[in-house]
Copies of this chain bind each other. A is one copy, B any other.
């Protein structure tokens, strides 16, 4: 089958063997897959990954238990062991022996087919189109904020970064009743949020007020110190970016202002699917391009261009 593979140096299209279905797995025919910033990082060496890329998908179960075959599904990306103390606590996303689809010791969804544990499947409600369902994984990562931090109605909140995750986090916090100010560099991206009723400002016009809750989704090392400066004393900074590798950082303000930094990664799929079904979050405007998998290398490069939001791949 056709697949977009990273060999540790180069991403290229290969003819891969079809995935083997192990016990407890399902094989999914991929309908659509989304390119994520993490994919771009992986192709720069992040996590030392080699294999088929891709961890955002919607598809149809081709092989697996009878009750799942033919159903339209999305799939959680952390493949947990199911038997350790973390899994017993419901924290399979932190299972120490987990594999992660397209990120850690598991092939991903930039392919015609992908194998995932049946336990990771979620059926897509009829009212949610494929073009929306493919956003469930990053939207769940935005909902993770609500799982980790108490958000009061009307609470002022600053979201830094107008990339995919920033745009989703701002919508999720807005839908949760927070008074969100989204700060970004791209007028076009911010316009999507403004149409949803979110207050927005361009970084170069921002007066740098502070808030008790700040979400750092800039994807840049400089974003962290900007986010710290935007967080009120005793406030909470939710850290979403993973790219601040080895940058010189001054942590003294965290101590002086007693700021709490909450590292935040993957999140729950159920509320993300519900928000897509209800229309509480809109993702349609976030699709910049829809490309064929055979053009996958160019599509990943396109996803890295300024102004581009989400690039979708279809086998």
What mask results when residues 226 to 261 of chain A are scored 1 for a CB within 8 Å of chain B, else 0?
Answer: 000000011000011111111111111111111111
Give the interface segment out of A7-15, A262-270, A292-300.
A262-270
Kindly state the interface size class of chain A when it binds its partner.
35 or more
Contact, CB under 8 Å: B250 / A246: yes
Task: List residues of chain B with CB within 8 A of the CB of A239.
Answer: 251, 254-255
A162 to chain B minimum Cβ distance, whole angstroms, is 19
CA distance A252 to B241 in the complex (A): 7
Chain B min CB distance to A260 (Å): 5
Any chain B CB within 8 A of the CB of A21? no
Determine whether the beta carbon of B249 is less than 8 Å from that of A246: yes
Taken together, the copies of this chain in the complex come to 2
Task: Please give me the residue from chain B that is nearest to A224 by CB atom.
Answer: B251
A244 touches B233 (CB 8 A): no
Query: Could you write out 23 A-B pairs with CB less than 8 Å apart?
Result: A86-B233, A91-B233, A94-B257, A239-B251, A239-B254, A240-B255, A242-B255, A242-B256, A243-B252, A244-B249, A245-B252, A246-B249, A246-B250, A247-B249, A248-B249, A249-B249, A254-B261, A255-B264, A257-B263, A258-B263, A260-B260, A260-B262, A261-B261
